[in-house]
Amino acid sequence: MKKHRIKISDMMDQMECIPLALKEYNTISAGHIRKKTLEKVHNSSLEARYKRKIPRTGIVAAALLLCLSMTVAAGQILEWDGFIRMDDLNPREKEALIKEISDAPACSMATDESDGSVLFPNNGNEITSLSAPEAAEYETAGREAAEQAVLESTSLIHVSALPCLPSGITEMEADAQGRFSDFLAGNGHMILLHPVGEDGFLLAKGDTITITMDADCECLLEFRAYQGGEPVSEALMLASRHCYHYTAVEDGIYQFSILHCSSDPVSFTDCSITIR
Task: Report the C-alpha gap between 60 and 151 in whole angstroms.
Answer: 22
**Tell me, what's the pLDDT at 114?**
61
The pLDDT of residue 25 is 46
- Phi first, then psi: what are they for 104, rounded to 5°? -65, 125
Quick one: pLDDT at residue 49?
38
Given a cut of 50, the residues of the chain with pLDDT beneath it are 25, 45-72, 107
How far, in Å, CA of 67 to CA of 78, rounded? 11
* The Cα angle at residue 174 between residues 171 and 180, in degrees rounded to 5: 85
Sign of CA dihedral 103, 150, 231, 191: negative
Helices 71-78 and 91-102, interaxial angle, to 10°?
Answer: 60
Looking at residue 264, what is its pLDDT?
Answer: 87
CB proximity list for 213: less than 8 A, separation 6 or greater: 242, 258, 268, 269, 270, 271, 272
Residue 43 CA from chain centroid, whole number: 23
214 contact partners, CB below 8 Å, separation of at least 6 = 240, 241, 242, 268, 269, 270
Per-residue confidence (pLDDT) for residue 99, from 0 to 100: 77
Q: Quote the pLDDT of residue 259.
A: 96
Q: Which helix (H) or strand (E) holds 172?
A: strand 168-174
